[in-house]
Amino acid sequence: MKATYALIATAALAAKASAACFAERLGYPCCSGNEVVYTDNDGKWGVENGNWCGIADAPTCWSLSQGYPCCSSSNAEVWYTDASGKWGVENGDWCGIPTGSTGGSIGGGSIGGGSVTPSNEQYTISGNPFKGVEFYINPYYVEEVDGAIAQMSDSSLIAKAEKMKTYSNAIWLDTIKNMQSWLESNLQGAQSQHQSSGKDILTVFVVYDLPGRDCHALASNGELLANDGDLARYKSEYIDVIEGHLKTYKSQPVVLIVEPDSLANLVTNLESTPACADSEKYYLDGHAYLIQKFGVLPHVAMYLDIGHAFWLGWDDNREKAGKVYAKVISSGAPGNVRGFTDNVSNYTPWEDPTLSRGPETEWNPCPDEKRYLEAISKDFKSAGIKSVYFVSDSSRNGKKVDRKHPGEWCNQTGVGVGARPQASPVSGMDYLDAFYWIKPLGESDGTSDESAARFDGYCGHETAMKPAPEAGQWFQKHFEQGIKNANPPL
């Protein structure tokens, strides 16, 4: 009987590829390694090349004892089943399909960026979006940390790095290409994680591609220039595409950190920096457009960037900021903004009792992030802003860094990862929605190569760690110092 089935099956099998692991049937590749990052009903998952991959269980080849080879795939097509097990056909002969690996289906809850069918359910954020949810784990960062671990030999350091993979951080959509690669795949991943765990999964993205981006710096200038043509691209190729994906994947909450440094530059650098004056129109128009688009989505909460304590902390800067941000928010009607984010990619401590208003702080009444938020929350409410809540970036401010001036921002030595991502972390500050890791520790602020086109002088200063790669690229030494100095300790 087996021989008859084999003759019929041979031609069909010649044209049909069999999956190497369960993940291929779900639209994901199979892992080349075996490190398990996540487990659900389908099987064990790893991360390679910035995406999820399936890990096949070690198969048991039961057919060898009966004189038949083992099929090359544990998910080979089943042509016959008897008391021994399931049989496939390869090379014109029967083979035993290995046991110990299971196939899967989308309904069982796959993970990452595969073929996930969007849910028709509508999630609605009510209050603090970080509260009562599970935070999504960024698979790209997991892979970066795995690469860092591969370069380590100190077991205690490796243990600290392993813990870093268990915490959530933001996913930066810093180019049109990266947005196309990372937005939908991670929205799918969050939905799959929800299907598997039954919990609501919050994903945090950084919207960061304005025309003339980072007008007062060189290291992080963007792809779009401050002109009408690139503003049109920003709207049609970037914001509109993000909006489309957010409307499609509406069953899970999303937080958007909006355009770091942009509006703070309009508060302080219009007169001193021509590039900022040239960008003003596009910053304002871009913000109005995105608030109108994203601010009406019930499962999305937006936070506009407000720099940090040693940027807008002075009384006159905070007062001016209130006017600028109130104008921007009103221009985006009917869209709503949840609040603001501070200390993004910076190092200012949450609390620094050693500092006060005096010569060493250039008479800044807000020499740490806590005092800054306490003060600016009052200023923003006085300016007529109705929703004043904050997300504070604690990814790199666990230890007071070595900088000699609080304005130093590039790859500072003495860095330490700070408070873990957490909703409502400070008693008595109900306007502080969360501590969260917005800037991924280990990704460079900018290159120290003075000959590079994007070299910024701050990255060559005495307290900037050197040699440093281009902004966004992995900086191993900075990462290792950051986890050694973690506060609280990892």
Please tell me the distance from the alpha carbon of residue 286 to that of residue 277, in angstroms, as a whole number. Answer: 15
Q: Helix count (H) and strand count (E) of the chain? A: 12, 15
Please tell me the distance from the alpha carbon of residue 286 to that of residue 428, in angstroms, as a whole number. Answer: 35
Determine contact, residues 40/111, Cβ cutoff 8 Å: yes
Determine contact, residues 51/58, Cβ cutoff 8 Å: no
Which residue is catalytic, options 42, 174, 209, 214? Answer: 214
Distance of CA 385 to the CA centre of its chain: 28
Distance of CA 390 to the CA centre of its chain: 18
Q: Is 278 assigned a catalytic role?
A: no
Q: Are strands 390-393 and 432-436 parallel, antiparallel or unpaired?
A: parallel
- Angle of the 240-248 helix axis to the 176-197 helix axis, nearest 10: 10
Which residue is catalytic, options 209, 379, 445, 456? Answer: 445
- Which phi and psi (to 5°) does residue 451 adopt? -90, -5
Please tell me the distance from the alpha carbon of residue 97 to that of residue 70, in angstroms, as a whole number. Answer: 6
Q: Is 456 assigned a catalytic role?
A: no
Determine contact, residues 475/219, Cβ cutoff 8 Å: no
Q: Is 445 assigned a catalytic role?
A: yes
Q: Which two tokens stand for residue 177?
A: 């290409």
19 Cβ contact partners less than 8 Å away, ≥ 6 residues apart = 25, 30, 73, 75
Please tell me the distance from the alpha carbon of residue 253 to that of residue 246, in angstroms, as a whole number. Answer: 10
Which residue is catalytic, options 174, 261, 342, 352? Answer: 261
Nearest CA among 82, 86, 80 for reference residue 99: 86
Please tell me the distance from the alpha carbon of residue 51 to that of residue 59, in angstroms, as a whole number. Answer: 24
Active site residues: 214, 261, 445
